Amino acid sequence: MAAFRVSAVKFETTAKTVHAVMQPTPQYNWPLLSARAGAEVWVKHENHTPTGAFKVRGGVIYVDDLLRREPDCPGVIAATRGNHGQSVACAATRRGLPSTVVVPHGNSVEKNAAMRAQGAEIVVHGADFQESLEYAQDIAAERGLHMFPSLHDHLVRGVGTYAWELFSAVPDLDTVYVPIGMGSGICGVIAARDALGLSTKVVGVVAENAPAYALSFERREAISTNSAETMADGVACRVPVMSALEMIWAGADRVVMVSEEAMKAAMRHYFTDTHNIAEGAGAAPLAALLKERETMAGKRVGLILSGGNIDRTVYQSILMEADSKEVSTA
């Protein structure tokens, strides 16, 4: 995927397919958030999709292509911490295709419920995403199911439509911050930027407790970690995908690591300044911008609020946490 390119015309047709299922999400400049960051901040609200996260865009495109190639496909299976699974279930059910989703033990109760509501069979296995992925691959082989990838050209093209929408509406952004899970989101942003011929810098964001992509970006080689213990399940990756790394190496400006506390603070800032719910991964770009506040002062910046799917009790606890370091905009 290092040479993966999408033309402007292809993005337009892909967006039409996505928009047949969901409306374009908004991008807003929030004054309180801009004052907090010291920059003109534009938020792309992927928490406003039918599944509450950006992944559904890629699922729609992938399933449409899959059924053209394999009209008799017996079903799909995927591994996830939640948002990818909702995308798979939503897109598969829409086309009458059975779906199975493998999640690790201790996964979000509410994300599991949402995937079931979308039509997926939930299988619980493993301590983390990587163990769930390996088990899903075993089930796929046993049952003859199609293994739904976490990263694929069609997924990148589909999720890249949110960046296409953002860049089309606000083409003169200096920098866009985007969280990195398995890599489809940031690769989609890079592809959309390049298709439009823009010079916007793309900055990836990971959790300090799940630094695989940051370490790999710095060393220019694939670096896996032994754990990815972060509350931001959307970025809880410990084994990076080489094809995503190649595209990130070629198209990203840098990868920023943010702490658990910084992401929690950013979740509170989103609620205070915009009254939007952001899950940990969705808040990570704001945490990165605030970490780089001095160097980004006065610039026009895009933040990808990639999702808002977080359990109520967890979110309530985070909102109630006191943080003396938070910047007041009163």
pLDDT of residue 226: 86
Q: What ranges do the domains of the chain cover?
A: 8-54+153-320, 56-147
Report whether 174 contacts 201 (CB < 8 A): yes
| pTM of the model as a whole | 0.92
Q: Tokens 């892909």 belong to which residue?
A: 14
Average pLDDT, the chain: 93
- The predicted pLDDT at position 323 comes to 55
Q: What percent of the chain has pLDDT over 70?
A: 96
Task: Let me know: does 159 contact 189? Beta carbons within 8 Å.
Answer: no
| pLDDT (mean) for 106-116 | 91
Q: Classify residue 124 as exposed, middle or buried by CB count within 10 Å of its CB (0-12, 13-18, 19+).
A: middle
Give residue 324's pLDDT band: very low, low, confident or very high (50, 70, 90). very low
The pLDDT assigned to 75 comes to 97
Question: Under CATH, to which class is 56-147 assigned?
Answer: alpha beta
Q: Write phi, then psi, for 177 (nearest 5 degrees).
A: -100, 130
The pLDDT tens digits of the residues spanning 128-184 come to: 888 999 999 999 999 999 999 888 999 999 999 999 999 999 999 999 999 999 999
Please give the share of the chain, as a percent, with pLDDT higher than 90: 87
DSSP class of residue 175 equals E
70 pLDDT above the threshold of 90: yes
Mean pLDDT of 21-44: 98
Residue 163, CA distances (Å) to 26, 49, 75, 238 in order: 11, 14, 30, 25
pLDDT in tens, 202-220: 999 999 999 999 999 999 9
pLDDT per position as a tens digit, 262-313: 999 999 999 999 999 999 999 999 999 999 999 999 999 999 999 999 999 9
Question: How sure is the predictor about 108, in pLDDT bands with cuts at 50, 70 and 90?
Answer: confident
Position 328 confidence tier, pLDDT thresholds 50, 70, 90: very low
pLDDT > 70? residue 55 = yes
The pLDDT value recorded for residue 81 is 80
- Looking at CATH, the fold of the domain delimited by 8-54+153-320 is given as Rossmann fold (3.40.50)
Residue 188 has pLDDT above 70, yes or no: yes
Question: Please, what's the largest Cα pairwise distance for the chain?
Answer: 59
Give the integer Cα–Cα distance in Å for 296 and 269: 18
What does the pLDDT read at residue 319? 96
Rounded mean pLDDT, 114-118: 94
Instruction: Work out the average pLDDT over 11-29.
Output: 96
Q: Per DSSP, what are the bridge partners of residue 238? A: none
Q: What is the pLDDT of residue 82?
A: 76
